[in-house]
Amino acid sequence: MDTDQWDKPWPDPAARDRRVLAGLRNGKTWIVWDDDIAAATITITTRRNNAVWAKPACTADLKERAVFVHRLITSRKYAGLGLGAELIDWAGLRGSREYGAKWIRIDVWLTNTGLHDYYKSKGFRPCGICADPGYPSGALFEKPVAGIRVPGYPKFTETGS
């Protein structure tokens, strides 16, 4: 996909695996299943990483409640169907319902400008960068939850807690 985003686990494979496992164990990672096939996954949290989302490099109003999206991945078989976009909106609506979130926020790989364009096309606006130049996912974006509408024909249904 013309990006170095998945070339090397950040900061290393063991740390990446610990983050993924923690998201699963803590109930922060959701998986969309198509029978026994994992079609997509998303991790959402209400706590920001203070090393990433910090003033003055971040221009978002960090006093307002938000949900933070991580590791949104759609299987290539399901790419282009709008599943990722619907998952993002679902995360925002869930965050609003469960936590009173006003924003969906995401940090995006700095060099993946195609992904920046994708998020902009889905209603996100740039809101700064991570102050740590060594953090590769430091392009910050946010989207207001207020503009999200529940789809008439959702691509998935929520089960579990």
- Summarised one tens digit per residue, pLDDT across range 129-143 is 998 878 878 899 999
Extract the tokens encoding 151: 């789809």
Identify the helix (H) or strand (E) that includes residue 130: none
Of 113, 34, 114, 21, the residue nearest 77 (C-alpha) = 34
For position 96, which CATH number holds?
Answer: 3.40.630.30
Record the pTM. Answer: 0.86
Please report the pLDDT score of residue 84 as a whole number.
Answer: 93
Domain annotation covers residue 61: yes
Write out pLDDT tens, residues 6-39: 556 667 778 767 877 887 888 889 999 999 999 9
Q: The tokens of 30 are what?
A: 């959701």
pLDDT category of residue 3 using cuts at 50, 70 and 90: low
Domain extent for 80: 13-147
Per the domain annotation, does 63 fall within a domain? Answer: yes
- Total structural domains in the chain? 1
Q: Residue 4 pLDDT more than 60?
A: no
Q: Is position 155 within any domain? A: no
Compute the chain's Rg from CA coordinates: 15
Cα–Cα distances (Å) from 112 to 17, 43, 68, 71, 109, in that order, read 22, 20, 19, 14, 5
From residue 16, alpha-carbon distances to 6, 9, 13, 75, 109 in Å are 11, 6, 5, 19, 15
